[in-house]
Amino acid sequence: MAIRKIVIHPAEILEKSCKAVVSFDKKLGRILDDMYDTMIEFDGVGLAAPQIGLDARIAIVDIDDQNGTIEMINPRIIATSGEQTDPEGCLSFPGLYGEVTRPNFVKIEAFDRKGKKYSFEAEGFLARAIQHEIDHLDGILFTTKVSRYLEEDELKGVESE
């Protein structure tokens, strides 16, 4: 396991759609392990492959709840509903936070590290984190969805994704 360098905006890889993963091998497992260690090191709740310089549809989320670490390879959103507006941050935009409106519920399909397809449903903050990371895989940055940027005194308990 290794801590990877976080790619900071502006960087071209953060704004491009990533390539699908086709090989579910030990290298993929090492990348996922490194992503987890990197996310924890930088106190994040999610991390997408382009944030460590990789052009691959790989993302992880761990909001420290009963779901543990959610590894998403080639994820796609298949359903959303509701609405929530809350603060968001991003490891690729250190110190920048803004209010973002997203669906409150999300259902995804993805593959695990062994290539097994699964579906997963989430609500609230977990749904927000999952959507934020999948956006990264499509080259969509949270800054394009901010309705209002936040000052430091408005940020009690905001996590970076």
Of 64, 60, 55, the C-alpha closest to 7 is: 55
Residue 12 appears among annotated catalytic residues: no
Q: Which of 71, 133, 152, 159 is catalytic?
A: 133
The CA-CA-CA angle for residues 161, 89, 27, to 5°, reads 25
Of 85, 75, 90, 88, the C-alpha closest to 134 is: 75
CA distances, 142 to each of 11, 47, 102, 145, 159 (Å):
14, 13, 10, 5, 13
Q: What pLDDT was estimated at residue 153?
A: 77
Query: Splitting the chain (161 residues) into consecutive groups of 10 residues, what average pLDDT does each group show?
Result: 95 98 98 98 97 98 97 98 97 96 98 98 98 98 97 74 75
Predicted model pTM: 0.95
**Can you point out the beta strands (E) in 30-150?**
46-48, 58-61, 70-81, 84-89, 97-102, 105-111, 117-123, 146-149
Q: What pLDDT was estimated at residue 151?
A: 85
Do residues 35 and 73 lie in contact, with contact meaning Cβ atoms separated by under 8 Å?
Answer: no
Determine the longest span between alpha carbons in the chain, in angstroms: 45
- In which order are the strands placed within the sheet that holds 84-89? 84-89, 97-102, 146-149
Q: What pLDDT was estimated at residue 48?
A: 98
Q: What pLDDT was estimated at residue 155?
A: 76
Domain 12-154, CATH number (from 3.90.45.10, 3.30.70.260, 3.30.1540.10, 3.40.50.2300)? 3.90.45.10
Q: What pLDDT was estimated at residue 61?
A: 98
